[in-house]
Structure 1
């Protein structure tokens, strides 16, 4: 055998791992320890013989290895409290031949002090990576095309056809539709089918940016514009979108003061950075979207009429999922393809009963809710076919049980009435009621989350947290 071609003997690997200074554990899909090195066992106060074959939860305090082995989602630089200290742990899904078979965990830093020493040495590299990452994200291209818009129902096909026809125009587009119907996907597809496709597509969620930051985010700022302003100033999203498309999502949540400044951009095709003295010409196509009734907001003085007419040159109204008869199965199949990649699974199917149940549901959260339901189902799926039992409780065909009801009077002794009562946990029942209450409040408040929070008599922060928990946009 030629020099340098000799293979490393198998029994060397244990010593190599120990010399590398890392503590290593490997579990299978069921979270059972199938390998752990002696260095890790010494730290845990156990032995390799005692640890192998046991559930990782019984071997390692506060372990999450069994979770990573199920979800396939890696967890890097995670704080892991153990033995009265905090380690820095990395957990990786173990994928062999495209199949998720388990997980590998390593402990690189035994305590926060070791981590801080290491961090001080690489801090400048971390900052440089963040800079280039931010720059790359801002130059991201639009990633959705009309072929990605799935559906053959008459209402959806008509809207998709309209969007394709107007994509080559330079006029402003107003996309209307409930939350979760795919407004950003349509905006992205329109951009990619336009003459601006080679230039940036910049999406902005007007509802997620604090009011006092919105102007500087959209138009940028000059050097010294305010305390804490970055030296040399900063370009706004309109400048970054120059020659391309800017997508203003949730335009109905834009403050009135900002609406007038946006109107000026549409009329003059130029922006004025915060603290700036000179206007900057920009060439952008604006696509705006909202789930609100802008005409009603105009009547109530909450949205500028002149801006509404400037934005509403071409109107695209996306139908809600409940009105798209025949599309739910097609969309589900496409979403499953996406989720299979996320969960390292293949060949996941829907039973006929599940398809029927999905078609019966009202889908207040539209496609976003459908994806949430399918992802939840895959998390509890053992085989390859999603059945009714894998669906969330509020979608299941609830089992019933006969509960005797005592009566006095004309009933004979021993006789009892029975009534069918749904069987589900109190936690799930309360969650379903809470989610419905939030949806009802949002409907009553025309989508205004602050007003909805007031109707429910809870704080704004708590309301937003609840919306995040229940995936309500």
Structure 2
């Protein structure tokens, strides 16, 4: 056999593609079919010569080939319902040398439904095992989130993720600062999950959610008969439950001074004394604290102890607000759309540019928590495949619209000035000296403007 005889000929290629295990379809830039292999035609029950030139939606049920051509974005391993069965479809856009979409090709696998059922059962079995393992890990340790759950590619988020990796293995105390809704708890979980204590408990306590008279017993536990209504056998506190692992104290800035003293002693001595106990109990706990309060100002006002502050503030973490990392909004929106659609069964593929522009310019006082709630409502209100401006809250759409003709230029400028002052004050936790510096004005000028705009 010569070299020429061993080359792959055009006829051979045609035969291979026509009879390939995968079903193959190719469409042009208008979504019209220009090729469909014999296997696909045979399954659907059409003549491959008759389908040429027809729009793909007329031939293949539940197809999205025309959408891939429009968006220029590939869709891999997507489930497609064809003739009573779910198949696995891959759709890939075809570009010319100038980067323009000139068509798309798609493949569908598992034409043998019995084979698909077998694979489906295997996948479900494996997913079940993985889910059980994750649930068991969560039950044993209390960890729900990892570093992968923190969505964002902004410089600030990348730096924080790197910082988590650097210090997770150490046992030093960490104070996580940030506004409400920025994801402080996600970072706490991630630090524990990457630490040497990852197989030990992760216990959390919201200091603001527990009444003052119950906080001591929640933290340190109590002995049987310590007070009226005490459980038989007593109760372990959060410190003892976290022994060997990590204790996450959220909203630590809301803790009273008497409790701060008891917490400091536990951290310094490495021991706790349950209510009603005769002697203290040794514990080995790493503490991660979090707050959105201005602790430095509270220290000046004698509302937060200096010694406790320096004990928990060994490594500070400042989580940026959403308005400080607006470049992450598009990623977060996409993440929440997928998450909510998976849970609800809705099919929303993306967000329009106008809607994303409104979302990117909004101030987000509630940060990521508020964004998720907005996207959840928008998904339920949507009727198409994209989130549009119309399904966003009215206050969000109106917050950046300029009422042309209803206000003078002077009034519009004053409104803008007021918003700039409010946003800067929020960003720097009402620190007026820093706010004035950031705005490029004197402190006396800032106070005049606060009075003029009636800003408290």
User: Is the radius of gyration larger for structure 1 or structure 2?
Assistant: 2
What is the CA–CA distance in structure 1 between the aligned matches of 2:194 and 2:400, rounded to whole Å?
49
Report what 2:246 is aligned to: 245
Report what 2:291 is aligned to: 290
- Structure 1 ranges of 4+ moved more than 6 A: 135-138, 398-403
Q: Offset at 1:384?
A: 2.0
More helix by share: 2
- Superposition pairs of residues 244-393 of structure 1, within 5 angstroms: 244-393=245-394
Is the contact made by 2:140 and 2:200 (CA closer than 8 Å) also made in structure 1? no
Call closer, same or farther: CA 1:261–1:396 in 2, change over 3 Å. Answer: same
Return the TM-score normalized by structure 2: 0.58
After superposition, the CA RMSD in angstroms is 3.2
Q: Offset at 1:347?
A: 3.9
Structure 2 gap segments, 5+ residues each = 1-83, 87-135, 408-418, 431-456
Call closer, same or farther: CA 1:362–1:230 in 2, change over 3 Å. Answer: same
Is the contact made by 1:163 and 1:316 (CA closer than 8 Å) also made in structure 2? no
Is the contact made by 2:177 and 2:291 (CA closer than 8 Å) also made in structure 1? yes
Is the contact made by 2:348 and 2:387 (CA closer than 8 Å) also made in structure 1? no
TM-superposition CA deviations, 1:128-177 (whole Å, max 9, x none): xxxxxxx9997452121111111111122112211221111100000000
Q: Offset at 1:249?
A: 0.4
Is the contact made by 1:207 and 1:250 (CA closer than 8 Å) also made in structure 2? yes
SS in 2 for 1:326: helix
Q: Offset at 1:402?
A: 10
Q: Offset at 1:397?
A: 5.1
Is the contact made by 1:388 and 1:397 (CA closer than 8 Å) also made in structure 2? no
TM-superposition CA deviations, 1:368-395 (whole Å, max 9, x none): 1101110111121122211000001111
TM-superposition CA deviations, 1:218-253 (whole Å, max 9, x none): 111000000000011001111111111110000000
Is the contact made by 2:362 and 2:400 (CA closer than 8 Å) also made in structure 1? no
TM-superposition CA deviations, 1:321-340 (whole Å, max 9, x none): 11113111111111222212
What is the CA–CA distance in structure 1 between the aligned matches of 2:401 and 2:85, rounded to whole Å?
44
Is the contact made by 1:248 and 1:286 (CA closer than 8 Å) also made in structure 2? yes
Is the contact made by 1:294 and 1:303 (CA closer than 8 Å) also made in structure 2? yes
Report what 2:210 is aligned to: 209
What is the CA–CA distance in structure 1 between the aligned matches of 2:385 and 2:398, rounded to whole Å?
20
- Superposition pairs of residues 374-413 of structure 1, within 5 angstroms: 374-396=375-397
Report what 1:39 is aligned to: none
Aligned residues: 285
What is the CA–CA distance in structure 1 between the aligned matches of 2:313 and 2:269, rounded to whole Å?
17
Q: Offset at 1:345?
A: 2.0
Call closer, same or farther: CA 1:278–1:400 in 2, change over 3 Å. Answer: closer
What is the CA–CA distance in structure 2 between the aligned matches of 1:374 and 1:154, rounded to whole Å?
24
Q: Offset at 1:358?
A: 1.0
What is the CA–CA distance in structure 2 between the aligned matches of 1:288 and 1:97, rounded to whole Å?
51
SS in 2 for 1:170: coil
Call closer, same or farther: CA 1:401–1:162 in 2, change over 3 Å. Answer: closer
What is the CA–CA distance in structure 1 between the aligned matches of 2:402 and 2:333, rounded to whole Å?
32
Return the TM-score normalized by structure 1: 0.56
TM-superposition CA deviations, 1:43-79 (whole Å, max 9, x none): xxxxxxxxxxxxxxxxxxxxxxxxxxxxxxxxxxxxx
- Superposition pairs of residues 200-239 of structure 1, within 5 angstroms: 200-239=201-240
Structure 1 gap segments, 5+ residues each = 1-95, 99-134, 404-417, 421-435, 448-473
What is the CA–CA distance in structure 2 between the aligned matches of 1:198 and 1:348, rounded to whole Å?
38
What is the CA–CA distance in structure 2 between the aligned matches of 1:202 and 1:269, rounded to whole Å?
17
What is the CA–CA distance in structure 2 between the aligned matches of 1:258 and 1:225, rounded to whole Å?
18
Report what 1:197 is aligned to: 198
- Superposition pairs of residues 129-208 of structure 1, within 5 angstroms: 139=140, 141-208=142-209
Report what 2:81 is aligned to: none
Is the contact made by 1:176 and 1:290 (CA closer than 8 Å) also made in structure 2? yes
